[in-house]
Structure 1
Amino acid sequence: MSMMVLLMAATPAVAQSTLPDFTRLVEKAAPAVVNISTSREAESSLTSSRQFGGQEVPEIFRHFFGDRFPMPPGNSPGMEDEPRRSLGSGFIFEEDGYIMTNAHVVKEADEILVRLNDHRELEAELVGTDEKTDVAVLKVDADNLPTLTLGNSDDLKVGQWVAAIGSPFGFDHSVTSGIISAINRTLPQDVYVPFIQTDVAINPGNSGGPLFNLDGEVVGINSQILTRSGGYMGLSFAIPIDVAMDVANQLRQEGYVSRGWLGVSIQPVSKDLAASFGMEQAEGALIAQVEPGSPAAKGGLKAGDVILEVNDQEVDRSTTLPRLVGQTNPGDEVDLRVLREGQRERITLEVGEWPDASAGQAESDPVRLGVVVQPLSDVEKRRLGIEHGVRIARVDPTGDAAAAGIRPGDVMVSLADKPVESPQQLKQMLADLPQGQAVPVLLNRDGRAYFVALRLGDAE
């Protein structure tokens, strides 16, 4: 009996000694974690019912920021003249003012303010965003800022302790902790990111903040949660820092992200399909369609092929294929292991560049409009349900386009009631327009038609 009492008494002490202490980590890292607030002009319609706290049932997988974040006091649905304000997190990774956050934190923002740990508020410039990975880079005009040490997300293991620092619901520098629940998670509509799954408590406002290992190194960017209520329910997801830094470096150097592309439509391999193909288990990505003239077509891939490996990396499910191909540099060759008509074959082909990322095809007219535009691929036109248009890649904040409310990511469908077919044609159309006269511009914004009035300044 006495032995049992001793064992029971010792158990709490042993458990307590194995729990991590995050105090030093927080003291060192907190100065480089920032609060990000954004504002944009009010829309002419009621606030979306998808807003956090609204009546519509929220999606299960969702970003925990944006038009669903609770409005500050004084803002209520139906107030059309008030700017919409949102809140998120970020962290400084270069001492001269470069900051990492989520793309959805700053999406459609007209103004971005960064509040530092020392209570300074600085206006930030948007360097670039990549919606496919949900990464954005900001720049503030400051020097000798505190920075965070970046870790290696490839070294992460399930079960290890991690911590997050951010601004949930606007409460600056809140710290939460937990463990890594899984790695290499693929979420619906986010096939380019092998997410880190954790049980760290994450809520609206944490978005874009850092995820740390016990050495105080950033191993991820908190990005999404699984929720039925709009708040934390035990499952949160972070972008691996290795993926985020690759994107950030491309945004800083090129202003866009280049990723590999095959040009195929794929679907999962069900158990019944696997049996019909003579496969022992359901795996791989089944090619349903090959786009004419695409790298896949030139390389000899056919509808009905099942891609099992990319450069000796297993394609365990269809959603793995876009990530593996997207990580490949355009122009590089990839070795594919394919099941075709019951036989396993090796096919080597040259990967192309994802059509909407090709800045090499971009044209600009910075004087008359202040934008950089890119042509649309046939795939994008079909997806958006339009026959013509050009994508707005970058917008000069001092130009005529910005004054009209045109934003990066918009697709310009028509100008002055005339269809926009290409960047070259747009340049000619702008040259023919008189200065000072407002003309209608039809945009496609997030899949919806949207008109703005554009007034061109002096031509130089």
Structure 2
Amino acid sequence: MALLLPPHRDNPQEPQAPSSSGRRFKFRSVLLGGAAALALGGAYAGNIQLPHVSFTSPAQAEAQAQTPVQAPAGFADIVSRVKNAVVSIKVKVDDTSDEAKTSDMPDIPHNSPLYRFFKRFGGQMPFEFREGHPHITMAQGSGFFISPDGYIVTNNHVVEHATDVKIVMDDGKILPAKVIGTDKKTDLALLKVKTGSNYPYVQFAPKAPRVGDWVLAVGNPFGLGGTVTAGIVSARGRDIGAGPYDDFIQIDAPVNRGNSGGPTFNTAGQVVGVNTAIYSPSGGSVGIGFAIPSDVVQSVVAALKDHGKVTRGWIGVEIQPVTPDIADSMNLKSTKGALVAEVQPNGPAKAAGIKSGDVIEDVNGQQVDGPRELARKIAALGPNAKANIEIWRNGSEKNLSMTLGTLPNDKTVKADFGSDSGGTPLSNFGLALAPASEVPGSGKLGVIVTEIDPDGSAAQKGLKVGDVILEAGGKTISEPSQLSHIISEAKKEGRKAVLLRVKNGDDTHYVALAVNPKG
């Protein structure tokens, strides 16, 4: 089943104007805000009358006290207030850029997190073009005015590498616009109309919508022009693998290609999200859409307006979730926190004394539930901010303080697996190892996985041929026999798993390997 991200640049052969898309896709605002709640329509449960006695259960009494939830009679009044502020965006793309060259995914920039998201799940996009066809030079999407002086919000992937940007208003008027700033990590962009003023605009919602709230999506699906669809907020806090700051609102209001960058409104006519992606096996809406919450949009847009870019806090660590196996191997009481897999040299974490194997549990007095939340907390603090970090190390808690740095550009991760080499098989775990120093390109430290049984316990934990095991149980290893010895010692101590520090290319992470493999 293919995952389609309609909020990409829409095919030039799909003319588009301001609109909204499908009916099951809905944008939701502040994803980080209120608690999710389902509005339940109360079915009236009357008293049960028996001869001489009347019984009323607590559930019935509560149902009687509730007012049944009614669906809105219509959305016409809301639409009439907001529709003029929604625009279609027409973009001329640089023919020399990779994004302008046709491919299996012509609408998604290759360096966009959405490209990686789509590629991860495979599938084909409708109207796609292959190499050898003329380059796509025009693209379209949606956007909306946020101020009377002409500032417009849209998706970064709609305008990335654009050489010319034009805005088509709801009445068909075409206006030139310029890109003020973009942010790839959240896929947001801020534009400004070059001339005129007193444009119709909309406001962001002051609070996040709840799961079950009605929403309206307005945009330009398939180039049909201004389109409105309705639905509800299906979920909040969705992580779709698009980037480290994923926190999407899921809606079921239909959204399709061309809705990228368009708004999702609540029933007060306030923006709760920006349409960004859909899940689709066919290329059209199936009622699963994703929107960037309005609180994220507001903070990013403010930075783009003031500085033309977004700067984020950075501590310089690679992190991963704490799984139940890892928690057990480290004597942790829960799986909350973020496990430090690698500490980058010359970063704030290194200077503060954070080490690989530490679990970051708290930032400035706020609990860290997992890696994604840690990334958001640190980013939000900003460069040069002071941070107090609570970590778990060697069975006890420790407090560290640091000054945050500035998040650098994403690094390119390259894998170098080297050639196969004979190793010492640890047959019970379904793997064979050799000293990494004996395999060209594998480095001098650790042992490299040279063979693996796809049905073995090591493979089930994600180990692959080419992985280099740097540490086992917190101890550096350079020979396969050392790993065997550490596993044996862990068994004697009654441990269920041994924590392995594993390197694959530039990526380093931890794996908890059960000392008593099944099978």
The TM-score normalised by the length of structure 1 is: 0.67
Distance 1:49 1:355, change over 3 A: closer
3-state SS in 1 of match to 2:295: helix
CA shift for structure 1 position 239: 0.9
Residue 150 of structure 1 aligns with which residue? 204
- 1:267 equivalent among 316, 320, 334: 320
Residue identity matched to 2:366: Q
Where is the strand percentage greater, Structure 1 or Structure 2? 1
SS in 2 for 1:191: coil
Q: Deviation at 1:30?
A: 0.3
2:261 equivalent in structure 1: 208
Paired residue total: 337
2:96 equivalent to 1:49: no
Aligned AA (2:375)? P
Q: Select the residue among 378, 393, 402 that pairs with 1:325.
A: 378
Aligned partner of 1:430 in structure 2 is none
- Find the counterpart in structure 2 of residue 196 from structure 1: 249
Tell me, in whole angstroms, the C-alpha distance in 2 between the residues paired with 1:86 and 1:299.
47
1:47-126 correspondence to structure 2 within 5 Å: 47-51=102-106, 61-62=117-118, 70=127, 78-80=132-134, 83-126=136-179
Q: Is the 8 A contact 2:101 2:136 kept in 1?
A: no
Distance 1:95 1:273 in 2: 53
On the 8 A contact 2:322/2:336 being kept in 1, the answer is: yes
1:200 is aligned with what amino acid? A
Structure 1: give runs of 5+ residues left out of the alignment.
Answer: 1-13, 53-57, 357-378, 386-460
SS at match of 1:222: strand
Amino acid at match of 2:256: N
Conservation of the 8 A alpha-carbon contact between 1:100 and 1:137: yes
Q: Equivalents in 1 of 2:414, 2:296: separation in Å?
A: 27
Gaps of 5+ in 2: 1-66, 108-113, 416-519
Distance change in 2, residues 1:345/1:182 (3 Å):
farther
Structure 1 distance, partners of 2:238, 2:374, is 13
1:61 to partner: Cα distance: 4.4
Contact residue 112 and residue 124 of structure 1 kept, 8 A? yes
- Largest Rg, 1 or 2: 2
The one of 299, 320, 343 equivalent to 2:352 is: 299
Q: Deviations over 1:267-297 (max 9, x none)?
A: 2222211110112332321101111221111
What amino acid does structure 2 have at the position aligned with 1:335? N
Q: Which residue number in structure 2 is paired with residue 26 of structure 1?
A: 79
Distance in 1, matches of 2:280 and 2:84, equals: 30
Deviation at 1:113, TM superposition (A): 1.4
Q: Is the 8 A contact 1:333 1:351 kept in 2?
A: yes
Question: Is 2:391–2:397's contact at 8 Å kept on the other side of the alignment?
Answer: yes
Cα 1:240/1:16, change in 2 over 3 Å: closer
- 1:282 to 2:335 alignment: yes
Deviations 1:311-332 (A, max 9, x none): 3433222222211211112111
Letter in 1 for 2:198: N
The aligned amino acid for 1:340 is R
Find the residue that maps to 2:346 and give its secondary structure. coil
Q: What is the Cα-based RMSD across aligned positions, in Å?
A: 2.8
| C-alpha contact 2:348 2:403 (8 A) present in aligned 1 | yes
Q: Which residue of 2 aligns with 1:247?
A: 300
| Identical amino acids, percent of aligned pairs | 38
Task: Report the AA paired with residue 102 of structure 2.
Answer: T
Deviations 1:209-259 (CA, angstroms, capped at 9, x unpaired)? 011111110111111122333322222111111211211121121111111
CA distance in 2: counterparts of 1:91 and 1:69, whole angstroms: 26
2:400 equivalent to 1:347:
yes
Counterpart CA distance in 2 for 1:296 and 1:31 is 49
TM-score in terms of structure 2 length: 0.60
In the alignment, is the contact (CA less than 8 A) between 1:59 and 1:228 conserved in 2? Answer: no
